[in-house]
Amino acid sequence: MKTYGLADIKKELQFLDNGQLIDLCLRLGRYKKENKELLAYLLFDADNERSFIESVIAENGFMFSQLPSNNYQMAKSMRKILRLLNKYVKFMTSKEAEIEFLISFCRNYIQYADRRGSYKPMRLIFTRQLEKIAKAIEKLHEDLQFDYSQDYNTMLEEAQEQLKWFYKDGYHIKS
């Protein structure tokens, strides 16, 4: 079976009428949950990104407040939250949204995670997100870099105060 590229699909879609496009979209949404969620985002939430970001951050906070006390289950739940955030980042295709989601994730980690930090997989989850934030900030425009790096560095200060095992020295961004 031959596979077609996006350019070929785009050319072919231009020849379809509205009814056929609607049928194709509905058929596409029927087969995968993620396709349906993407279509719902594009139709209902894409026009107001700020409220969507705020609702995702609120959902992230709620999920953190429901974390189990067992370290293994807590790490598993955090990975689930990260999968959800990464899916929304993929829908939005915005570095700013990615940074906001990850900073909110890290702030919730600081607030809700086990502060003794004896479980290494949970510490790795946190440090990997810090690295992802730093890389994403580097790809932004200078003005946005300054704003987000200040927010990021403030979060690092909070992390060093709250988490006994964490030292911010290797993660600090110069603003």
pLDDT in tens, 4-36: 888 888 888 888 899 998 998 888 888 889 989
The per-residue pLDDT for range 131-147, each reduced to its tens digit, is 999 999 999 999 899 99
Whole-angstrom Cα distance, residue 128 to residue 33?
28
Q: Which amino acid, 60?
A: N
Q: Which amino acid, 105?
A: F
Share of the chain above pLDDT 90, in %: 60
Q: How far is CA 47 from CA 40, 140, 154, in A?
A: 12, 22, 30
Contact in structure between 79 and 36 (CB atoms under 8 Å): no
pLDDT of 168 above 90: no
pLDDT of 114 above 80: no
The pLDDT score that the predictor gives to residue 175 is: 58
The per-residue pLDDT for range 71-87, each reduced to its tens digit, is 899 999 999 999 999 99
| Mean of pLDDT over the chain | 90
Q: How far is CA 153 from CA 4, 48, 115, 159, 172, in A?
A: 45, 28, 19, 10, 6
Phi and psi, residue 11, nearest 5°: -60, -45
Whole-angstrom Cα distance, residue 136 to residue 98?
8
pLDDT band at 113 (very low <50, low <70, confident <90, very high): confident
Place of tokens 């949404």: 29
Domain segments of the chain as ranges = 7-47, 48-170
Contact in structure between 63 and 109 (CB atoms under 8 Å): no
